[in-house]
Structure 1
Amino acid sequence: MSLLSKGRYEVRFANCEADVQAAQCLRALAFRDAPSDLDVDAYDARCLHMLVEEVDSRALVCCFRLLPLDSGRAIEQSYSAQHYELSSLANYEGAMVEMGRFCVHPDHSDPDILRVAWGALTSYIDEAGVEMLFGCSSFKGTSEEDYLDSFSLLKDRHLAPKRWLPRVKAPSIFPFARKLQLRAPDLKAAMKEMPPLLRTYLMMGGWVSDHAVVDRDLNTLHVFTGLEIGAIPPARKKLLRAVAG
């Protein structure tokens, strides 16, 4: 069943094992540069998998997974809790959903893919009554030197409110809020280096942890990212719902 069809793309939930394996194959290509493998973990069986397909070819161009949680009391069940100490969010009363393994096929760079994916996600969030979206937003590679302006901008403008701030749990991190205290970001360079998914979170009022986790398994640096749905600017909500509609 289609969740959203716009232009060249259609979004739907995976509805069989073959659909899930197609997503796992794209994830292996995007995160591990291993097109003949599958990226699989224990969270897949508990998640909803969203697929963005090209209408004419039925090629899978984007995928991500969603883990719904009734409230923050279930936060330890999330993938993010492997990497971040999230007890500060345990008292969050509203419904939450974790978005993970978001990736776009490396051969497809059409910005409409991201736009349609967020439109479908908006529909899901509205229907499910979700109040907070969260997950890990990844920078490719594990060298923080490649992204110092981006991390400096995150430090200056986008740190989580103190009441929700994740604490350190992972053994290998880059504590950018502390390390880059005196660095002023080059805004143009910062936005150029910023991953598209994280850039979208930030435009909607999202916030991040004060440190990045070094994930050598997926060859990424990632930050915990949270977005309170009620805090999204009205104009941005209108645009998302226009796509969703």
Structure 2
Amino acid sequence: MPDTTLTPPLAAAPIEDRAGALSPRAPLTAAPAAEAALLVAWARDEDEVREAQRLRHEVFAGEMGARLEVPAGTPPGLDVDRYDAFCEHLLVRAPGEADEPGPVVGTYRVMTPAAAARAGGLYSDNEFDLGPLTPLRATMVELGRSCVHPDWRSGGVVMALWGALAAFMVRNGLETMVGCASVGMRDGGHAAASLWRRLEATHLAAPEWRVTPRLALPVDELRQDLPVDAPPLLKGYLRCGARVLGAPAWDPDFKTADLPVMLRLADLPARYRRHFIGA
């Protein structure tokens, strides 16, 4: 599940807290001052969800060469799967012209605990045995299908997304985020295996939270000594206090190695808490 880490033609469901009560949607808010013209908001209808799916297709299929399996009848040029209809879709828009909204240049897909129950589980359940996380599920969201348009990868879009996500978590009484940090496998997986070995020594979660891949990357058959740096998004997660939950899964369709990652709001360093949630 790429995150560069996760529809039938339906609008996104309302935002819910852990009790299933509706929570007010976030209004349009500006991104950080460096890119103040960006706007971030939750998708409100099918057309806006389609915009996110179109950007995802452009990045995942067009740029990364992913093999996307979409439901029958899906219009061309969209990345769609069965989980989209259950999720909230967070959008960042570039500046528009006159009264017209700008194009979507960044997106995240967010699945709440109530939505996961309706969907029969998380997308990540397909890649990992998440049994050890059962005690956290009542206040745990899954982040997925994160991507940013190649012309807007200076950092402002991701900061706008993260700010809205943090506010969403606080507003809905949620405490934990999980998802997959994807590493490309153009080199056959050697970089991913090397990165895992480094993170295993520095950022591995406590034993009680560790999960198992269903289709494991064959790390022992790959080089594990390359001087690999973490991808920018994963590096950002780690700076915010995220932990890697175990060895990477291999996703043949997206041609990535997926590292399971967990971030708890309680683990946010003080400076990030102040920046994202003002606490």
Q: Name the TM-score, length of structure 1 as normaliser.
A: 0.85
Partner secondary structure for residue 38 of structure 1: coil
Structure 1 residue matching 2:209: 3-state secondary structure: coil
> The residue matched to 1:33 in structure 2 has which SS?
helix
RMSD value, Cα = 2.8
CA offsets per residue over residues 39-90 of structure 1, 9 Å max, x none? Answer: 1100000000000001235021101110001599999610100110011111
Deviations 1:86-138 (A, max 9, x none): 11111226511111100011232221111111111111111111110011111
Alignment-derived partner of residue 152 in structure 1: 197
1: CA distance between counterparts of 2:47 and 2:235? 31
Give structure 2 stretches of 5+ with no counterpart: 1-25, 66-75
Say if 1:31 and 1:161 are closer, same or farther in 2 by CA, change over 3 A: same
Equivalence for 2:95: 55
Structure 1 unaligned residues grouped into runs of 5+: none
Q: Secondary structure at the match of 1:211?
A: coil
CA offsets 1:169-216 (integer angstroms, 9 cap, x no match)? 23xx2255x779x96674xx42xxx22221111111111132111112
Q: Does residue 42 of structure 1 match 2:87?
A: no
> 1:68 is matched with which residue?
112
Instruction: Indicate whether 1:78 and 2:122 are aligned.
Output: yes
Q: Name the stretch that deviates more: 140-149 or 118-127.
A: 140-149
Question: How many angstroms does 1:19 deviate by?
Answer: 0.8
Higher relative CO (CA 8 A, sep ≥ 6), structure 1 or 2?
Answer: 2
Tell me the residue number matched to 2:16.
none
Q: How does 1:214-225 map to 2 (within 5 A)?
A: 214-225=250-261
- Given candidates 42, 50, 68, the residue that maps to 1:13 is 42
Alignment correspondent of 1:4: 29
Q: Matched residues in 1 for 2:59 and 2:114: separation?
A: 30
- Structure that is richer in strand per residue: 1
> What TM-score do you get using the length of structure 2 for normalisation?
0.75
1:139-165 CA distances to partner (integer Å, 9 max, x unpaired)?
Answer: 123632134442232111111211111
Are the counterparts in 2 of residues 94 and 131 from structure 1 also a CA contact under 8 Å? Answer: no
Find the aligned partners of 1:206 and 1:95 in 2 and give their Cα distance.
Answer: 16
1:157-236 paired onto structure 2 within 5 Å: 157-170=202-215, 173-174=216-217, 176=219, 186=227, 189-190=228-229, 194-236=230-272
Count, aligned residues? 234
Distance 1:17 1:138 in 2: 27
Q: 1:126 to 1:179 in 2, by over 3 A?
A: farther
Q: Which whole-Å CA distance do the structure 2 matches of 1:5 and 1:120 have between them?
A: 10
State, as a whole percentage, how many aligned pairs show the same letter: 28
Q: Is the 8 A contact 1:212 1:222 kept in 2?
A: yes
Cα distance change, pair 213–135 in 1 and its aligned pair in 2 (3 A): same
Deviation at 1:25, TM superposition (A): 0.9
Other-structure match for 2:276: 240
